[in-house]
């Protein structure tokens, strides 16, 4: 959850630190405007969960591809062995 930013309090703090009012209000406004671009802990957790799910799906795809490649290699070797056996028989 994003915490609310009190621009009035921030501007007053900046003004009390020696900044003139117009600059203090501009800085506080810029900070407030920039807050919409920040990621929250919840955003990062959701991204982590989605990324882990995507990786699990990719791992499953890779496992499936290994089986397919393995079966194709076995079929190819069996076919080659049969062709060679027929070639040397006669």
pTM of the model: 0.46
- Counting DSSP H helices and E strands in the chain, the numbers are 3, 0
Over 80: is that where the pLDDT of 90 sits? no
pLDDT number for residue 3: 64
Q: Is 42 exposed, middle or buried (0-12, 13-18, 19+ CB in 10 A)?
A: exposed
Cα-Cα-Cα-Cα dihedral sign, residues 61, 63, 68, 73: positive
Q: What are 31-79's pLDDT values in tens digits?
A: 888 777 678 899 999 999 999 999 999 999 999 999 999 999 999 999 9
Residues 71 and 61: their CA atoms lie apart, in Å, by 15
Evaluate whether 30 touches 5 at the Cβ level (below 8 Å). no
């Amino acid at each position: 959850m994003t915490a609310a930013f009190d621009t009035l309090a921030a501007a007053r703090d900046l003004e009390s630190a020696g900044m003139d009012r117009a600059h203090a209000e501009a800085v506080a406004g810029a900070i407030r405007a920039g807050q919409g671009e920040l990621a929250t802990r919840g955003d990062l957790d959701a991204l982590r969960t989605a990324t882990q799910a995507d990786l699990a799906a990719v791992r499953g795809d890779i496992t499936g591809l290994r089986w397919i490649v393995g079966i194709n290699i076995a079929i190819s070797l069996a076919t080659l062995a049969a062709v060679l056996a027929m070639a040397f028989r006669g």
